[in-house]
Amino acid sequence: MENPWVVLTATVLIIGLSAFFVAVEFALIAAKKHRLEDAATKSRSGRAALRSASELSVLLAGSQLGITVCTLALGAITKPAVHHWLTPLFETWGIALWLADVAGFVLALLIVTFLHLVVGEMAPKSWAIAHPEKSATMLAIPMRGFMFVTRPLLHVLNNAANWCLHRVGVEAVDELTAAQNPESLRQLVQHSVAVGALDASYSAQLSGALDLGRLQVRDLVKPSPPTAVPADATIADVQGASRASGHLRILVGEPGSPVGLVHVRDTLSEAPGDPVTALVRPCHELEPDATVLSAMADMREARAQLAVVRGRDGFMGVVSFADMLRGLFPEQTAA
C-alpha cells in the first residue's frame, strides 16, 4: 500500500478504533455502578452501559480483542508503508542500502509505536478515567454492537482465560465490586485529617464506626469485677449495691458465675427486706469472638442493655450497650 493518503486514512481510523476500545475498557472499570443505574433511567445509552457493566469480563475481552487487532493492523499497514517511504530518503543521504533499510525500519517502528501508545492508548485512557460515566454511556451502544457481532469469539476467549485462572485457584468475576473495605476507608479518614479536608473532631467518630466491624466483644469487656449481689440477696442489698456503684442493672449470684440480673427500677415498689429472687431476669450472653457490630445488632434485637460474656474458660465479664456506643461516639458519650 504505497498511496500515502490511503495509508494516512487507514492509520487514523485504526488509531481511532484503538482509542475507542481503550476508552471503553477504562470507563467501565472506573465508572460507579449507582451512577450508571441513574443514567439507565434516562437514556438508552445508559441502559447499554449498565448491561456492559454487568458482564464486565466479556466486555474486557472485546476491548482487548479490538486493541490487539488494531495493533496488528498498524504493524501490517502503517509500519511497512513508513518504512518504505523512509528507506529511499536515507539512501539519498549517501547511507548504505542495508543501513538505510535498518534505520527506516527502526524509525518507522518508533513512529508507529509512539502514535499508538500516546494517541491510541494513553490519551483515551486518561479521558475515560477523568469522565468515567460520561464516556461509558457515550461509547456503550457502539461497543454493544461490536460485542453482539463478536460474542461467540469473545465467549471462547473469556472461557479460556477463566479456565487458566481456575487452574491456579482464582475464581473469575463478571462485575466489579463497589464496596470499600474498612481498612481503605480508615486510611482515607486519616489522610483527610492530615490534609485538613476533615475536621479532627469527626475523625474519632468515623474511626470508631469503622472499628465496630473489626473490634471483638472481648476488647470491650471491663477488667474490673462486675457489680453483683448474692443469690439470696434482699431488695435492700440490690439498692445498696446500686447506690455504691451507680449502676442500674445488678448481677445476681457469684461475681464469676451470675445466674441473672435485676434492674433497680423493679425494686422500687418492693419492701426492703423481701428477697430479690422474684425479680431476677435471665442474662443475655455474648461470645467473646463476636464482632461489636454483630453484638450490637444481637442486643438490640433482644432488647438487652447488658450482656454477660462467656468464653471457653467460663465467665469473662460484662459489656453494656453504652460501652459499644462509647466506641462509636467517644466525645458525646464522655460529655
pLDDT score of 39: 84
> Could you tell me the pLDDT band of residue 250, with boundaries at 50, 70 and 90?
confident
Q: pLDDT tens digits for 103-162?
A: 888 888 888 888 888 888 889 999 988 888 888 899 999 999 999 999 899 888 888 888
Residue 259 DSSP class: E
CA–CA separation, 42 and 51 (whole Å)? 14
> Could you tell me the pLDDT band of residue 22, with boundaries at 50, 70 and 90?
very high
pLDDT score of 172: 67
Residue 229 DSSP class: E
The answer for residues whose C-beta is within 8 angstroms of residue 52's C-beta and 6 or more apart is 24, 28, 59, 136, 140, 143, 144, 147
pLDDT score of 322: 81
pLDDT score of 143: 92
The answer for residues whose C-beta is within 8 angstroms of residue 264's C-beta and 6 or more apart is 238, 239, 242, 248, 249, 250
pLDDT score of 284: 85
Summarize the confidence of residues 55-66 as an average pLDDT. Answer: 88
Looking up cell 495509508, which residue turns up?
7
pLDDT score of 302: 82
Is pLDDT above 80 for 211?
no
| Domain parsing of the chain, residue ranges | 4-167, 182-211, 217-334
Is pLDDT above 90 for 179?
no
Mean pLDDT of the chain: 81
pLDDT score of 335: 41
Is pLDDT above 80 for 224?
no
Q: pLDDT tens digits for 256-268?
A: 778 888 888 888 8
Summarize the confidence of residues 90-108 as an average pLDDT. Answer: 79
CA–CA separation, 44 and 40 (whole Å)? 7
Share of the chain above pLDDT 90, in %: 9
**Which candidate, 270, 250, 268, places its Cα nearest to that of 260?**
250
CA–CA separation, 234 and 278 (whole Å)? 10
pLDDT score of 65: 92
More confident residue, 174 or 93: 93
**Which candidate, 303, 308, 208, places its Cα nearest to that of 253?**
308
Is pLDDT above 60 for 331?
no
Fold type of domain 217-334: CBS-domain (3.10.580)
pLDDT score of 141: 92
pLDDT score of 327: 56
pLDDT score of 57: 84
Residue type, position 323, single letter: D
Share of the chain above pLDDT 70, in %: 83
